[in-house]
A and B are shown apart, each in its own frame.
Chain A
Amino acid sequence: MTRHRPLTRRRSRRVTLASVAAGAMLLSACASGAAIETAEFADFDAALEAAEGQTVDLWMYGGDEQGNAYVDEELAPAAAELGVTLRRVPVTDTADALNRVLNEQQAGRQDGSVDLVWVNGPTFSTGRQAEAWRCGWTEMLPNMEFTDPEDPLLTDDFGTPVEGCEAPWHKAQFSYFYNSETVAEPPSSLPELLEWAEANPGRFSYPAPPDFTGSVFLREVMISQAGGAEEIPLEFSEENFDEYSPAAIETLEALAPSLWREGATYPRDEQALNQLFNDGQVDIGMTYGPARLTELVDSGALPDSTRIMPVEEGTVGNASFLAIPANAQDAAGAMAVANLAMSPDQQAIKADPEVWGQFTVLDADRLDPEDRTRFEELPSSPVVPDYAELSGNAHPELDFDWVPALDEAWRESVARR
């Protein structure tokens, strides 16, 4: 697999490890990771049998109270019925989980402490480059039959083919929201949003990349400047980057003086932007997890007047997944949990806005009529329209390599303006 380097880095002469001091040799001797056998279970029943008594450590973003509650109160008890203990390990960023895996691999540990990771996009691709994920195991999960094998959101994750290296968990749709008390007529497209920001100085901002949400906004601006999602090739290359990124960066540079604090600084992450929104300092927010808005409004973290902003040209959507590190100690248990998490029962519980409100990855046409009605009868939210409406005109994510390249370009020019 070729690796794209977004920045030109000077490459110097090759030096073998032998030329480094003896102490260095000692240290690096344990750094070589052996190839790992990924298909050790004949079928899912064999995996289930091996899973009994295992303790699965699920590493996931810990800042989402509803997500934590769902895993602790719904998924973990269901896993216990299979004889698997599910332990949630909260992290501030999914990259932390990958870092742990890579560090353990570098140290030569084959009994890794990470068994399952809630992952998508950049972290998944990075892990694939480093061969950190176990692959080819999702085909044998019985519940995969309820998903659409042709669904582009499930076959590619930010342009990286999934290839059985992660099991789908739920879908997400990038969305903007606004305060209906202070904004009478919300913008209805991204260009209109940028115009609105210029007409209302100081009332708009976006999280600073590399925050996930801020990064998405950057890509949406680039897509919009190029004239739509069809205009930009999904694949990353230096030429594509040089062709399409400057317009986006220039737009954001020109926009900066109209932003909150005149663009001298930016909220650090989505939470910081929500804080500004709730304090009434900005009128428009954004999120890749619109399903969470219902609960954020209910808990008072966002004002009651929060509404989703409709976007004519559509926004970007993706799916997030559960991946098993190649050196996971309790891989069989992890597979059992991944299959369980994909079951119509768990997916319906999770899709309930009262529980977590995450959009299902299952294909309604493949479900039993009974299960289908469960999804159809889910309570609707006053804040968030349903997935079909949200994902109208949706476009797929660009390749992962666009992400760090664009983030870095933004940091170099817009952030240090």
Chain B
Amino acid sequence: MSRAALLAAPAVLLVVLVLGAALLTALLQSLGLLPLFGDPEFSTAAWTDGGALAESAGVSLYIAATSTLLAVVLGFLIAAYALTAGRGGRLVAALSAATIPIPHLVASGAIGLLLTDAGFLARLFGMPEGFPQLVGTDWWTAAILEFAWKESAFVALVVLGGISRSAAALSETAATLGASARQRILHVILPLARLPLSVAGLVVFVYTFGSYEAPWLLGPVAPEPLSVRAVRLFGSVDLAARPEAMATALTSVGIAVAVIGLAVLGLALLARGSRRRSRRRSGRHSQHPSPLRSSRRSGAGS
């Protein structure tokens, strides 16, 4: 373990150095200590500028949480179908994996063309008036759908990669014992997929939380998620907005790091809990030894 840590140290050190320097610079800029021109002047104004920062954080959390939930549910369904439906399932898995290399920018553009008020679907159904408004709404519908579509493929891939071997065998066994597809999904695949689902969900959450293209292209003009606000302020012609841009970006980093920390803690507790449960189960067995075992033990003793 310590040897592995030592081997990884150079790479980790480099990343920490580069990332740390960037974050420190951002922090100094957000506090007015590294101005683009003029004298440095300490100020926390960029951090306390009304409720705009908190509002943006709320929007970002909403988009990330909803997209993650949808992606995890959809991804699990794809994986479960792929595991239980034979050849058709493999086709679905291959199709969903094929969407992964598409960049989010392209996917967002495509979703935009598909779902706008005068977009492809509205024209296809010939309903320019009655087509639901999905792009640029207060509910961020199109942006969330884009994330859910793209990221569910990622979730499915992680789950399939993590459990396909053990799950396929177990679910076949369950099937020969008469378990229905629903029973196999709920009692065999879901328990096995819990860990890969949690990890993939965490990755999706952090990714969508910081992602820019889809909310920018498919969301309304206001309010803004953190990523969009940070980019807008960074590119603002008002140079006094630079500290606010940095404060926004750092808020985004801070929340993402906090979520990762909490999730790692949660996963560790989950793992310890399941270990303890399994230990307790084996402990119960030793307290109430089966007649077979006790006889063998007594046999060994004699």
Contacts and interface: CB of A to CB of B under 8 A. Distances in A.
Nearest to B38: A3
B34 interface: yes
A27 B222 contact: no
B180 interface: no
A331 to B, nearest CB: 20
A67 interface: no
B220 interface: yes
Contacts of A80: none
Chain B binding surface, main DSSP class: loop
Contact of B221 (A13, A31, A415): A415
A20 B42 CA distance: 11
A159 B216 CA distance: 32
A31 B33 CA distance: 11
A6 interface: yes
Interface residues of A, number: 51
Given A9-B240, A210-B236, A268-B221, A28 B34 contact: yes
Contacts of A404: 236-238, 241
Interface in A377-402: 400
B138 interface: yes
B25 interface: yes
A281 B118 contact: yes
A247 to B, nearest CB: 22
Interface stretch (A50-58, A69-77, A122-130): A122-130
B42 A12 contact: yes
B187 interface: no
Interface in B1-44: 21, 24-25, 28, 33-34, 36-38, 40-44
Contacts of B21: 23, 27
Contacts of A9: 43, 45, 49, 240
Interface in B242-300: none
A261 B136 contact: yes
B117 interface: yes
Nearest to B37: A130
B48 interface: yes
B166 interface: no
A182 interface: no
A122 B239 CA distance: 11
Interface string B208-237: 000000001000111100000000101111
Nearest to B21: A27
A210 B234 CA distance: 12
Interface residues of B, number: 37
B183 interface: no
A265 B237 contact: no
Nearest to A126: B237
Contacts of B223: 416
Contacts of B49: 7, 9
A106 B36 contact: yes
Interface string A333-348: 0000000000000000
B173 interface: no
Given A131-B37, A281-B118, A24 B136 contact: no
A93 B235 CA distance: 8
Interface of B: 21, 24-25, 28, 33-34, 36-38, 40-45, 48-49, 117-118, 133, 136-138, 216, 220-223, 232, 234-241
Interface of A: 3, 5-7, 9-17, 20, 23-24, 27-28, 31, 93, 95-96, 98-99, 102, 105-106, 122-123, 125-126, 129-131, 208, 210, 261, 264-266, 268, 276, 279-281, 400, 403-404, 411, 415-416
26 contacts: A7-B49, A11-B45, A12-B42, A14-B41, A15-B41, A20-B28, A23-B21, A24-B33, A27-B21, A27-B25, A27-B34, A28-B34, A28-B40, A98-B237, A102-B239, A106-B36, A126-B237, A129-B239, A264-B136, A265-B220, A265-B221, A279-B118, A400-B237, A403-B237, A404-B236, A404-B238
Nearest 8 interchain pairs by C-beta: A415-B222, A15-B42, A122-B237, A279-B118, A265-B220, A404-B238, A130-B37, A265-B136
